[in-house]
Amino acid sequence: MNKPESPDPSASKASMHFDPVIDPATAAELQRRYAQEFTALWQQMLTAQVPPVADRRFANPAWQSSTLHAFNAASYLLNAKFLAEMADAIQVPPKAKQKIRFTLEQMVNAMSPANFLFSNPEAQQKIIETKGESLTTGLTNLFKDIQKGRISQSDESAFEVGRNVAITEGAVIFENELFQLLQYKPLTATVYERPVLLVPPCINKYYILDLQPHNSFVRYAVEQGFTVFLVSWRNADASIAGATWDDYIEKGVLQAIDVVQAISAQEKINVLGFCVGGTLLTSALALACARGKKPAASLTLLTTFLDFSDTGILNVYIDEEKVKETEQSIGHGGLMKGLDFNAAFASLRSNELIWNYVTSHYLKGENPAPFDMLYWNADSTNLPGPMYCWYLRNTYLENNLKQLDKFKLAGKKIDFGKIDVPSFIYASREDHIVPWTSAYASTHILNRKKPQQNFFVLGASGHIAGVINPPSSSKRHYWINDKAAGGNDDDALSWLADATEVAGSWWPAWIDFLKKQAGKQIKAPDKVGNPQFTAIEAAPGRYVKVKAS
């Protein structure tokens, strides 16, 4: 779903060549400690003592079944620790050090003894117990994934869009070359007069917000009496390979807002953006504001960057050299492939999203279990090259969007601070894609004259699991703070220090916020659309079913 940082001296130097330096005294101390710890480990090996191993990859009792297996695991972890300490000791600019750490982590994770049949006692035991069947199944799983060009994380045969995911009832009531607009059928006798428009990320399929009935964000909102509209972005192909960021704002978000206003007969509507969908939505509202229009009654942002100063680990993929290379390749037409997105995001948590499945599916011959979120995660989408390149340069690389009243979209100067509607800003505490402190920074950008209208909520878990946390699951918790976010002396950590932890889902808190901006209740419409915008086809529509090629 998002990515990199504002230009600074370390960023510009990160793409330069320089000689890494380690202080000799520091290097000597690290080597001394390593030799001492390895000697102790070797003594345990010689005396047949089984060293303790505190790592989930080696938690199975098979790793403690012999001194050799335990030594392999313990020595691997010791070597990994030493290499990480050496990387931390290298004297280079911060961004260069981040790249060194990341590259080293990829190498170390790949070299785990758990990833190889000859050094994985669990996989070896499984072959014996199953009389070779696990090995046969593992090879079958490997060959299937080679044909797919990716690692299977879920039993994908268990799900189908429109059959058991993305099944909330509704219809497509508008479409153009970039998106279809869905309107969902009411589930209550009355609805609030102001509808809510959901703008999901164009990097992923929209149905993360409409998985199954028990965990559908869309269905939950409809059940609370809201008329819900949703943008279903097209999976880009050659026909829109030249589309730009401005196109996604003009022909995408602003067009969707116009249609929702027309159908609901409301001048102001509630709007929600998720991840890059939130960046697009806020850009569209700022452009509308520059044109003298204010179509939003409220704004909700879920795990969204507006300030790209700190983009976390994704920063390792962004520098001037790489962005220029991408611009030359697809910046004037072409596609950013969804499979490349998936591979890049998986590498950010390679143990959980790559090697975990290598060991379970290939070495141990375990078939993947059905999991709707992972099925969605594998359903990748392409992006038009010009749009993607603009996004990379103006957000992750140069952080231009927050240059208030200096930066232009569609020829107009934009200023996010002039978006002065009540805002609900959600972040996930363990989010590795949009660090929660970066999402919190939006409270200092929006509502510049009325920061007291910003309501910030911090949820547990990560980028996706934190968002898709329905009340019915009774899982996790979230933090709120009665003090308005975004004051002059306010920062993320001080906000959290004074926050209150609340058990369960944050969804009801969002509904409470939305009801205050939703107007009166009226009789639910008998059908979707209006005479101008009639149903084209049933939800989920054609666009979401198109697979990335």
- What's the whole-number mean pLDDT along residues 232-250? 97
Q: Is the pLDDT of residue 404 over 50?
A: yes
pLDDT interval class at 37 (50, 70, 90):
very high
**CA dist list (Å): 314 to 121, 329, 487:** 34, 21, 28
Which helix or strand (DSSP H or E) is residue 148 part of? Answer: helix 133-148
> What is residue 450's predicted lDDT score, i.e. its pLDDT?
85
Which helix or strand (DSSP H or E) is residue 228 part of? Answer: strand 228-233
> What is residue 21's predicted lDDT score, i.e. its pLDDT?
82
Residue 284: name the closest of 320, 311, 246 by CA.
246
Show the tokens assigned to 53. Answer: 């191993």
- In a 10 Å sphere around its CB, with 0-12 CB exposed, 13-18 middle and 19+ buried, how is residue 24 labelled? exposed
pTM for this model (two decimals) = 0.92
Q: Supply angle C-alpha 434, 162, 181, rounded to 5.
A: 65
> What is residue 1's predicted lDDT score, i.e. its pLDDT?
42
* Percent of the chain clearing pLDDT 90 (strictly above): 85
- What's the whole-number mean pLDDT along residues 526-538? 96
pLDDT tens for 318-345 read: 999 999 999 999 999 999 999 898 888 8
For CA atoms 161, 166, 167, 171, the dihedral sign is negative
Active site residues: 275
Residue 397: name the closest of 463, 322, 287 by CA.
322
For CA atoms 410, 413, 416, 419, the dihedral sign is negative
> What is residue 487's predicted lDDT score, i.e. its pLDDT?
60
Domain boundaries, the chain: 9-135, 170-307+401-545
Residue 362: strand, helix, or coil:
helix
Dist CA 388 CA 432 (whole Å): 21
Please give the backbone phi and psi of residue 195, each rounded to the nearest 5 degrees, phi first.
-80, 175
Rg value, the chain, Cα: 25
Angle between the 67-89 and 94-110 helix axes, to the nearest 10 degrees?
Answer: 170
Q: What phi-psi label fits residue 137: left (phi over 0), alpha (psi between -120 and 50 degrees) or beta?
A: alpha
Please give the backbone phi and psi of residue 521, each rounded to the nearest 5 degrees, phi first.
-95, 140
- Mean of the per-residue pLDDT values for the chain? 93
- In a 10 Å sphere around its CB, with 0-12 CB exposed, 13-18 middle and 19+ buried, how is residue 35 labelled? exposed
pLDDT tens for 449-502 read: 888 899 999 999 999 999 999 999 888 999 999 877 766 557 899 999 999 999
> What is residue 297's predicted lDDT score, i.e. its pLDDT?
98
Dist CA 225 CA 186 (whole Å): 7
Q: Which of 24-28, 77-81, 400-404 has the lowest mean pLDDT?
A: 400-404
pLDDT interval class at 378 (50, 70, 90):
very high
Residue 275: name the closest of 399, 400, 431 by CA.
431
Q: How far is CA 71 from the centre of its chain?
A: 37
Residue 7: strand, helix, or coil:
coil
Best mean pLDDT range from 46-50, 294-298, 408-412: 294-298
Which helix or strand (DSSP H or E) is residue 174 part of? Answer: strand 170-175
Is the separation of the CB atoms in 280 and 387 below 8 Å?
no
Q: Is the pLDDT of residue 4 over 50?
A: no
pLDDT interval class at 403 (50, 70, 90):
confident
Dist CA 306 CA 120 (whole Å): 45
Could you say which architecture CATH assigns to the domain 170-307+401-545?
A: 3-Layer(aba) Sandwich (3.40)
> Could you identify the residue written with the tokens 């680990």?
313
